[in-house]
Chains A and B, each alone.
Chain A
Amino acid sequence: MSAALLEAGIAFGRVAFIMAFVLNVAAILGWVERKQSAIMQDRIGANRASIFGFRALGLFHPLADTLKMLTKEDFRPARADRLLFELAPFVSVFFSLVAFASIPFGDTLTIGDRVVPLQAITLNVGILYVFAMLSLGVYGVMMAGWSSSNNYALLGGQRAAALMISAEIAIGASIMGVVMVYGSLNLQDIVRGQGTLLMGWLPAWGIITQPLAFVLFLTAGIAATKRIPFDTPEGESEIIGYFVEYSGMKFGMFLMTDMVETTVIAGLCTSMFLGGWQVPYLLADGFHLPWGAFLAVPALVVTLLQVGSFVTKVAVMIFILMLIRWTLPRFRYDQAMRLGWLGLFPLSVLNIVLTGALLLLWGAL
């Protein structure tokens, strides 16, 4: 009985860590986005919200935003499809939140004789799960576009669907190279595979073994988040997008979906291309430096270093995603389609062929 309770507690802890991580990062991303864009553009950024006179660099703005959205009127157009209209933001945000579940944030943690895997769910098809969830998320967007009974929303939903299809295929094809190199669909195995060293000193991270796939995945991943430069579904200057009829916290949930998806893409990039939780040269018992030096590290510190490494890498990836979002202008709809179908997809296939040929030549990694 108590063993079952303990199991349930550990499982809950794993899920709670992931949920807290994703939700908090998504909330703070609003602040990061404002401040980073401001500093990039020689501005200061939102800094007026304060509690008892403390402004805390504008950190209270996400809080104020949430309060504002929660207290605003929740409006539903008279001709909207009631069920789908109410359901759409929940579908959208739910699937983006659960997508993070199979991304490992550490190796295993040994407590007594119990070995706890540091990911919310241990799936041997982890990558497929993440992409299934990301693809299901677009149903929320399409439902929102269709049920609003607004032509602009419908256009936005249709664009989102078209963009998602072209991006998903490129994503699926671009990660095949990674799967081939590390020989597994399990994200934990992929991360473990990136712990080996190439030529005795270079960590075998995905960005080194699969540089082309990294660029392709990053591009398609940004398209999957529906943010600039691929924000044709939103297109704030032409059609307001699939959430044009939404207000209050339902609108906030669509915004949150974008933020969570950014976090998921950053987490995936980290897991597949930046070595996930791997710290260079850190094995389970300590640092094995390439020139033969060895530094013993306690097991708990190793785990903490690994989790810290994962969080740091996700933060760096988010920085890069934000940098791209605030640097590039939007692709026109047909340009985005052309890039997806005629640019990313053929290059992904080429990457698969190249990877296969090189693997045949050199044998498995």
Chain B
Amino acid sequence: MKLGQRFYLREVVSGLVLTAGHFFRNMGKHIAHAFGQKSARGAVTIQYPEERRPYSPRLRSLHRLVRRADGSPRCVACMMCETVCPAHCIYIVATEHPNPDIEKMPERFDIDLGKCVFCGYCVEACPEDAIRMDTGILEFSSYSRRGMIYSKEMLLSLEPVGADGRPTSPVPIPADRTP
């Protein structure tokens, strides 16, 4: 170390000048903001529940099941996603589709989000483009493990993310929670 650094006081003063500089610069911006100059921002903080940073369009968020024109799921219960899922969190029970042109449809399609690792393999594997992870919903939580299991009806009701990056459908309320 150089003598000035060993003396320590000089380095202390330079550090204090740095932090005090930040303080007064930010304070000036805060005051300008308070007096109507909205472009001045004294902090880089994004105040989360009210403000959100824009999400990437590639973001893997809560799954949704894509619907046909008549509202039934596009899923044909081929079990590809259940097979590829590394976390074994998808449970499908297949049934006959009333339309003879379509072989099968899921009677149950449950995703245990408590196990899901959000790898997106189910979306990649799906031959029918029936499952997507584009709802933009990230805040799903529950007080119990059972509440993390999302049923076919809940997944079907979800809409894709809006153009502004905000979710367009409300977060489904887990089965074990009363609103």
- The answer to whether A and B assemble together is yes
Residues facing A in B39-62 (CB within 8 A) are 42-45, 47
- Are B23 and A36 interface neighbours, CB within 8 A? yes
- Are B23 and A40 interface neighbours, CB within 8 A? yes
With A327-B15, A327-B16, A328-B15: A42-B44 Cβ-Cβ less than 8 Å: yes
Cβ distance B36 to chain A, nearest Cβ, rounded Å: 17
Chain B interface SS verdict (over half): helix
Contact partner of A39 among B15, B27, B47, CB < 8 A?
A: B27
- Give every chain A residue within 8 A of B26 (Cβ-Cβ): 39-40, 42
- Give every chain A residue within 8 A of B15 (Cβ-Cβ): 327-328
Residues facing B in A16-57 (CB within 8 A) are 36, 38-44
CA distance A61 to B57 in the complex (A): 38
With A39-B23, A40-B23: A215-B9 Cβ-Cβ less than 8 Å: yes
A326 CB within 8 Å of chain B: yes
CA distance A42 to B30 in the complex (A): 11
B12 CB within 8 Å of chain A: yes
B119 CB within 8 Å of chain A: no
CA distance A38 to B23 in the complex (A): 9
B175 CB within 8 Å of chain A: no
CA distance A40 to B27 in the complex (A): 9
- Are A323 and B44 interface neighbours, CB within 8 A? no
- Are A328 and B43 interface neighbours, CB within 8 A? no
- Residue on A nearest B46 in the bound complex, by CB: A44
With A215-B9, A328-B12, A328-B15: A43-B43 Cβ-Cβ less than 8 Å: yes
Q: Mark A68-87, 1 if CB is under 8 A from B, else 0.
A: 00000000000000000000
- Are A43 and B23 interface neighbours, CB within 8 A? no
A324 CB within 8 Å of chain B: yes
- Are A324 and B16 interface neighbours, CB within 8 A? yes
CA distance A39 to B19 in the complex (A): 9
Contact partner of A323 among B23, B42, B43, B47, CB < 8 A?
A: B23
- Residue on A nearest B21 in the bound complex, by CB: A40
Q: In the complex, how many residues of chain A place their beta carbon closer than 8 angstroms to a beta carbon of chain B? A: 14
Q: Mark B1-22, 1 if CB is under 8 A from A, else 0.
A: 0000000010010011011101
- Residue on B nearest A41 in the bound complex, by CB: B22
Cβ distance B39 to chain A, nearest Cβ, rounded Å: 16
Residues facing B in A312-342 (CB within 8 A) are 323-324, 326-328
- Give every chain B residue within 8 A of A38 (Cβ-Cβ): 43
- Residue on A nearest B18 in the bound complex, by CB: A327
CA distance A137 to B39 in the complex (A): 49
- Are A42 and B43 interface neighbours, CB within 8 A? yes
CA distance A326 to B23 in the complex (A): 11
- Are B16 and A44 interface neighbours, CB within 8 A? no
CA distance A327 to B42 in the complex (A): 19
CA distance A324 to B18 in the complex (A): 11
With A215-B9, A328-B12: A43-B19 Cβ-Cβ less than 8 Å: no
Cβ distance B148 to chain A, nearest Cβ, rounded Å: 27
- Give every chain A residue within 8 A of B45 (Cβ-Cβ): 42-44
- Give every chain B residue within 8 A of A324 (Cβ-Cβ): 12, 16
Cβ distance A335 to chain B, nearest Cβ, rounded Å: 10
Residues facing A in B67-117 (CB within 8 A) are none
CA distance A245 to B71 in the complex (A): 61
CA distance A38 to B22 in the complex (A): 10
- Are A323 and B16 interface neighbours, CB within 8 A? yes
CA distance A36 to B44 in the complex (A): 15
CA distance A43 to B27 in the complex (A): 11
Cβ distance B117 to chain A, nearest Cβ, rounded Å: 32
With A215-B9, A323-B23: A39-B42 Cβ-Cβ less than 8 Å: yes
Cβ distance B5 to chain A, nearest Cβ, rounded Å: 14
CA distance A43 to B26 in the complex (A): 9
Cβ distance B12 to chain A, nearest Cβ, rounded Å: 6
- Residue on A nearest B9 in the bound complex, by CB: A215
Among A44, A326, A328, the most chain B Cβ lie within 10 Å of the Cβ of: A44
- Are A40 and B43 interface neighbours, CB within 8 A? no
CA distance A327 to B19 in the complex (A): 7
Contact partner of A326 among B9, B19, B27, B47, CB < 8 A?
A: B19
CA distance A42 to B16 in the complex (A): 15
A sample of 10 inter-chain contacts (CB < 8 A) reads A39-B22, A39-B42, A40-B26, A42-B22, A42-B26, A42-B44, A43-B44, A44-B45, A44-B47, A324-B12
Chain A residues with CB under 8 Å of chain B are 36, 38-44, 215, 323-324, 326-328
Chain B residues with CB under 8 Å of chain A are 9, 12, 15-16, 18-20, 22-23, 26-27, 30, 42-45, 47
